[in-house]
Chains A and B, each alone.
Chain A
Amino acid sequence: MAPVITLNAVDYLIIGGYIVVMVLVGYSLKKYMKTGEDFFLSGRSLPGWITGLAFLSANLGALEVIGMVANSAKYGIATVHFYWVGAIPAMVFLGIFMMPFYYGSRVRTVPEYLKLRYNEATRGLNAISFAVMTVLMSGISLYAMALLFKIMLGWPLTQSILFAAVVVLLYVFWGGLSSSIYNEVIQFFLIWLGLLPIVFLGLKQVGGFAGFTAKLQETLLHSIKYLGTSNNPLGVDWFGVVMGLGFVLSFGYWTTDFLVVQRALASKNLNSARMTPIIASFPKMLVPIIVVIPGLVALLVLPEFGPAALPTADYNSALILLMKHYLPNGLLGLAITALLASFMSGMAGNVTAFNTIWTYDIYGTYIRKGRPDAHYLKVGKYTTVFGIAISVGTAYIVQSFPNLMDYMQLIFSFFNAPLFATFLLGMFWKGATAWGGFWGLLVGILTAAGHYILYKAGVLTYHSDMAANFYQAIWAWLADFVVTIGVSFFTAKRDPKELVGLVFGLTPKPKAEARWYARPAVWGTLAVIVAVILNVIFW
């Protein structure tokens, strides 16, 4: 099959320039990596704007961008729910209410908080599931990258996989979390600069928003208006969107997933840590510009998705086809670099999160306890090699089992959805006991798995797979919430003295030291107000 896109020397020069800069940044960070905290948490020294942009970029992977363009072509403007309902409230909540416990308690990882608040078993359950899933996901996205570049540019799979693995290995081995974070910030600028030309050209060709209104179906143009019933393109009603996506899934991901929380923990002080997700929330609100508009443009300008589209049309190719449709060589290289950067930074993020959890929560807890810091720094560095080797291995396994990708994502969702209930009760109710936390989490995970089996067996039916996913999250969260409370009434309470710094109400409020314009509460409130206004405009 001939490649979709042909690059020339200028394009390759742009791609090469990015690789060189990333390796140099990694190398120049090498001299700062003296302690474990330097390697795993950037020495807790980074300013808020860097951790904030990295917080956002860690989630803005290439698969996310391609998938959201595809969703926008399928569901229209309702895709904004993944941003304005499904991210902003959770990010602001993390910054204002939860970060004082994460950063203030000086934990190094999310599972470590679970150990302090609940017990060793709860930490183990979370740490092991997270480590296994993260490193496998990194391999899956490595494969997805190689496959995309093969179809798009004709690059051979093996060379793509090994090349990306070596580049990521070099800079993570040298610079640890700092390398990952710096790469994410550079990726943030590249993805905007790489994709905005498509937005401008697309809007110009279809005649701006008026063009959308004139030529597209009414149901594709509103975010909320048609949510009264599940009879809309999403196939989900308002309750599913608000509770499933807006509450459980989004809070579960943004407030407990170590991949994103680790960025905030790298901040230089508590105020920067709290500002990290709030700074990220503003560009997050704007991401629909580079995903929703191209999705709608694709419906109007690409024959593949027009009125004569086949039911089998692959919406995931929408972004790539738009790049081919609009971008001349030069800008094309820039857009490809943006995608490459987001794949590589996604992989680096997964590998550094895996490193940290493996070294602190698994190796340092179950295998070799109480060694000097230098030992763990070394283990962390070599875990990078090990983690990348597993990723490459996974990439080859996925090649022969393409469905593995869907299964992994599915299993990951079992672990993620209920976790937010465990954290919510842990941080805001001092009565939650150690074993209450453990059993709540376990039953929540099993509920998610059970719901999935019943749905696949046809016992439960929904209007769409997305609705099933949202309601599965709601049930898993509810099961965790109820069981944690129930078991807590029958098991031994923790001594409140041990919970100081971990639970709201037992911890002195952080003094508002920053001036009013630097306070998380001020910016967080503003973020929520802007998100509400955006929702009203695109009602």
Chain B
Amino acid sequence: MNDTIETKDQGAGMKQGHVLDLKLPIGWLLSAYGALLTVYGLVTKKEMYAISLGINLNLIWGILMLAIGGGFLLTAFLKRKGRS
């Protein structure tokens, strides 16, 4: 029983599988959201942020999302570079 499992597992590891690297779409989506929120945070007036306790959270959250999205893209890029 164990033997068959292992050979099959190796087979699955050898075949390419669904190699679409999910880090790319996540990275692009979060970076795009981050960029949009950052720009929007920069161009909007302070009055709009009365409800968020006076904090321009669009700007802060936009920068944070840019960083997270960028992190995903960077990891995917480094992995691809390492492979080739």
B78 part of interface (Cβ distance < 8 Å):
no
- B82 vs chain A, min Cβ distance (A): 16
A205: nearest chain-B partner, CB-CB? B53
Inter-chain contact B52/A197, CB cutoff 8 Å: yes
In the complex, residue of chain B having the shortest beta-carbon distance to the beta carbon of A42:
B18
Alpha-carbon separation in the docked complex, A500 to B44 (Å)? 66
Q: Which chain B residues numbered 1 to 40 have a C-beta less than 8 Å away from chain A?
A: 1-2, 5, 8-9, 12-13, 15-18, 20, 22, 25-26, 28-30, 32-33, 36-37, 40
- A28, CB-defined interface residue at 8 Å: yes
State the CA gap A334–B37 with chains docked (Å). 9
Given contacts A10-B40, A45-B17, A46-B18, contact A328 B12 (CB under 8 A): no
Q: Report yes or no: B18 in contact with A32, Cβ–Cβ below 8 A.
A: yes
Most B CB atoms within 10 A — which of A43, A182, A331? A331
From B26, B28, B40, contact of A330 by CB (8 A) = B40
Known: A29-B20, A269-B12, A270-B5. A331 touches B26 (CB 8 A): no
B18, A14: Cβ atoms closer than 8 Å: no
Question: Which residues of the partner chain B approach A268 to less than 8 Å between Cβ atoms?
Answer: 9, 12-13, 17
> Could you say which residues of chain B place their CB within 8 Å of the CB of A189?
26, 30, 68
Contact B52 A201 (CB under 8 A): yes
Contacts of B58 in A (CB 8 A): 328, 330-331
For window 20-66 of A, CB contacts with B under 8 Å fall at 21, 24-25, 28-29, 32, 38, 42-46, 50
Asked if B41 lies at the interface with its beta carbon under 8 angstroms from chain A, I say: yes
A211 interfacial by beta-carbon distance below 8 Å:
no
Smallest Cβ distance from B27 to chain A, in angstroms?
A: 10
In the assembled complex, which residues on chain B have CB atoms less than 8 Å from the CB atom of A494? Answer: none
Contact A334 B52, CB 8 Å, known A25-B25, A104-B1, A268-B13: no
* Cross-chain contact of A511 among B2, B33, B57 (Cβ < 8 A): B2
Q: Which residue of B lies closest to A196 (CB)?
A: B61
**Known contacts being A185-B22, A330-B40, is A193 close to B1, with CB within 8 Å?**
no
CB distance from B75 to the nearest CB of A (A): 12
In the bound complex, residues from chain A placing their C-beta under 8 Å from that of B30 are 189, 193
Is A510 an interface residue when CB atoms closer than 8 A count as contact?
yes
Q: Give Cα A164 to B65, complex, Å.
A: 26
State A14–B57 Cα separation when bound (angstroms).
Answer: 16
User: Which of B36, B51, B52: most chain A CB closer than 10 A?
Assistant: B52
Q: How far is the CA of A29 from the CA of B15 in the complex (A)?
A: 16
Is B55 an interface residue, CB under 8 A from the partner? yes
Q: Which residues 93-112 of A have a CB within 8 angstroms of B? A: 104, 106
Count of CB-CB pairs between chains A and B under 8 Å: 116
A495–B44 CA distance with the chains assembled, in angstroms: 73
B49 within 8 A of A: yes
Closest CB in chain A relative to B77 CB, distance in Å: 18
Q: Is the interface of A mostly helix, strand, loop or mixed?
A: helix
- Number of B residues near A (Cβ < 8 Å) is 37
Complex-state Cα separation, A32 to B16, whole angstroms:
10
Chain A contact residues (Cβ within 8 angstroms of B): what range? 35 or more
Residue of B with least CB distance to A104: B5
- Within 8 Å CB of A205, what residues of B? 53
Which A residues lie within 8 Å of B51 (CB)?
Answer: 325-328
B48 CB within 8 Å of chain A: yes
Instruction: Produce 1/0 per residue, A250-268, CB < 8 A to B.
Output: 0000000000000000001
Shortest CB distance B18–A (Å): 5
A204 interface hit (Cβ, 8 Å): yes
CA distance A10 to B29 in the complex (A): 15
Q: Which residues of B contact A325 (CB under 8 A)?
A: 51
**Is the Cβ of B18 less than 8 Å from the Cβ of A43?**
yes
Q: Which of B50-82 contact A (CB under 8 A)?
A: 51-53, 55, 57-58, 61-62, 65, 68
Write the chain B residue with the least CB distance to A509. B2
A302 to chain B, nearest CB (A): 13
In the complex, whether A178 has a CB less than 8 A from a CB of chain B is yes
Q: Are B9's CB and A270's CB within 8 A?
A: yes
CB distance from B16 to the nearest CB of A (A): 8
* A500 x B52 contact (CB < 8 A): no
Q: Name the distance in Å between B53's Cβ and chain A's nearest Cβ.
A: 6
B44 shortest CB reach to chain A, Å: 8
The yes or no answer to A6 lying at the interface (CB within 8 A) is no
- Please list the residues of chain A having a beta carbon within 8 angstroms of any beta carbon in chain B: 10, 13-14, 17-18, 21, 24-25, 28-29, 32, 38, 42-46, 50, 104, 106, 178, 182, 185-186, 189, 193, 197, 201, 204-205, 268-270, 325-331, 334, 500-501, 507-508, 510-511
Task: Kindly list 19 other residue pairs between chains A and B, CB separation below 8 angstroms, not including A14-B36, A328-B52, A511-B2.
Answer: A10-B36, A18-B29, A24-B25, A25-B20, A42-B18, A45-B17, A186-B26, A189-B26, A197-B57, A201-B57, A268-B9, A269-B9, A270-B5, A326-B52, A328-B48, A328-B49, A330-B37, A500-B1, A510-B5
A-B CB proximity, top 8 nearest: A45-B17, A330-B58, A269-B9, A501-B1, A330-B40, A32-B18, A21-B29, A178-B18
17 contacting pairs across A/B (C-beta < 8 A) = A14-B33, A25-B20, A43-B15, A43-B18, A45-B12, A45-B16, A185-B26, A189-B30, A193-B30, A193-B68, A197-B57, A197-B61, A201-B53, A268-B12, A269-B13, A330-B40, A330-B58
